Structure 1
C-alpha cells in the first residue's frame, strides 16, 4: 500500500524523471515504478510517500507551501469525487481521473503549481490517453 496526497495523483501522470533534488527523483522513481493497477493507494492530504524525500517537507507532516498544496488536495478530492483516507486500487483511480478530470478543472487546480508551466502533468493527464479534454 502507498499513501499519496490527492494532488499527487495528477503529478504522477506527467512525471518524467525530474524533481527538486536527486533524492526526490530517486524516491519518485521508486513510487511511480511500484504503481500497478492493483496497487492499493490510501489518499491523504498531508505528507505522503512522495513527500518523504522532498526538500519542502516539514517535520510536522506538512509542506513549506501547505496552504497551496492543501488547496490542490481539496480541489482534486472534489473534482475526482474521492474521499480522503479511503483506499483505492490505482487502476480505479486512473479510471476516476479519466472520468472526472477535464482540462478546465485541471487548469483551475494546477495553474499556481511551480511545475504547471512545464506542461508535464497536462500532457500526462490529457495527451497520453488518461482523461477527456473537455
Structure 2
C-alpha cells in the first residue's frame, strides 16, 4: 500500500511526466503505479511522493502549514480522513464532482500549473468522466 497525503490524492491524477528532477519524476511514476495496483493509505504530513521532493527538510515540507491546509481541503472534498484506505479508481470517480472547486482553489494560483497545464487537466478530466 502506498502512503499519500490529501492533495497528492488529487494532484497525482494530473501528473504529465514533469517535475523538480529526474529522481523526483521517477518516484512519481513509481508512486502512481503502486497506488493503482496496491491501494492508498491516507496519511498526514510527508508521504511517499515527498520522499524525493527537494522541499522536504528533516521529513517536513518547508511549506507544511500551507500544504497541510491544502490536504485538509482535499480530504474534505473527497470525503476522506487520515488513516482511511482508498483505491486510485475511487478517487478518480470523485474527481469530476470536485474538479471545479479544486481547480479554482489550488490549480489556478499554483506556481506549478504549467507542469500540469490546463489542457492536461481538462483532458484528464475528460478521461476521468469517460
Give the TM-score normalised by structure 2.
0.83
Structure 1 residue runs without a partner (length 5+)? none
CA contact (8 A) 2:3 2:42 kept: yes
1:120 aligns with 2:116: yes
Matches within 5 A, 1:10-89: 10-36=10-36, 39-59=38-58, 61-89=59-87
Per the TM alignment, residue 85 of structure 1 is displaced from its structure 2 partner at its CA by 1.3
Checking the alignment, whether the CA contact within 8 Å between 1:41 and 1:88 is kept in structure 2 is yes
Aligned to 1:109: 106
How many residues align? The count is: 127
Cα RMSD after superposing both structures:
2.1
* Alpha-carbon distance change, 74 to 110 in structure 1, aligned in 2, over 3 angstroms: farther
2:91 corresponds to 1:93: yes
| CA gap 1:121/1:50 in 2 versus in 1, 3 angstroms | farther
Higher helix share: 2
- Note if contact 1:4-1:43 (Cα within 8 Å) is conserved in structure 2: yes
Shift >4 Å, 4+ stretches: 121-125
Mapped partners of 2:52, 2:115: distance in 1: 23
User: What is the SS of the residue equivalent to 2:25?
Assistant: helix
User: Secondary structure of 1:82's partner?
Assistant: coil
